[in-house]
Amino acid sequence: MVITGIVFIFGRKKTGKRVARAPRPQAAVSARSLSNQAHQLEAKGSLLEAKLLYQKLINDFPQSSEVMDWQKRTEEINIKLLFSPVLTPKSIIYEIKPGDTLTKIAREFKTTTELIKRSNNLNDSLIIPGRKIKVWSAPFNILVDKSENILMLKNNEEIVKTYTVSTGKNNCSPVGTFKIVNKLPNPTWFKAGAVVPAESPENVLGTRWMGFDLAGFGIHGTVEPKELGKQVTQGCVRMSNPDVEELYTIIPVGTEVTIID
């Protein structure tokens, strides 16, 4: 933050006497200067401050050729903040009480045990009363745009991260608002006349499954990452395995998913 005080700049009248005059308005800070500041803050690990500067750049210079890069950096910072112990405006510090479990805490704050563990560098589910941990406390929602083949993880109206996905061929993915009702790691694929185990290279579900309250539809991984960005599925939303594993860690059962044309 740059703090400016009142400065008097001395000039001369035609009489030759020096007189005080008000300063000229400060020149607008250039996009390049702000971008450099944001990069430096990000490199130093000052993620919240860097995010604020990237957001200012996006708002103040929407026509810049760098706006997509600023948005991408903002989203990368969002995920780093989610997975770190750094307290944000949408998380709280929670003191563990006797009888608490990670499952109980996650259910109370509508988050996931995986996210609590990841953001507090916990290697297992063992927790100790009296310890203070960071807990995300704001609900997520998901928007899938079939025309763009993108999935946006959102917190209210803020885009947390945008993922490239595949949707249903011939535009067959259902349109509407659904809820995640189940989550499965390394799912078995039950297809007509066969059961395909998780470890099979023919299992199209990849490493994670998040099912909708519409039977047979959900979000899952893939064994065909080259097909991402296309309408090629039987109606489900397909992500790369690293992306679907990241999303699985973040969103709890009950998360709303809206799919639009």
Separation between Cα atoms, residue 176 and residue 62, nearest integer Å:
30
Q: What are the catalytic residues?
A: 220, 236
Closest to 241 measured CA to CA, from 212, 214, 201, 213:
201
Compute the distance between CA of residue 129 and CA of residue 134 in angstroms, rounded to an integer.
14
Helix (H) or strand (E) segment spanning residue 49: helix 47-60
Contacts of 196 (CB under 8 A, 6+ apart): 188, 189, 190, 202, 203, 204
User: How many CA atoms lie within 13 Å of 162's alpha carbon, on the beta-carbon side?
Assistant: 13
Quote the CA–CA distance of 51 and 77 in Å, as a whole number: 7
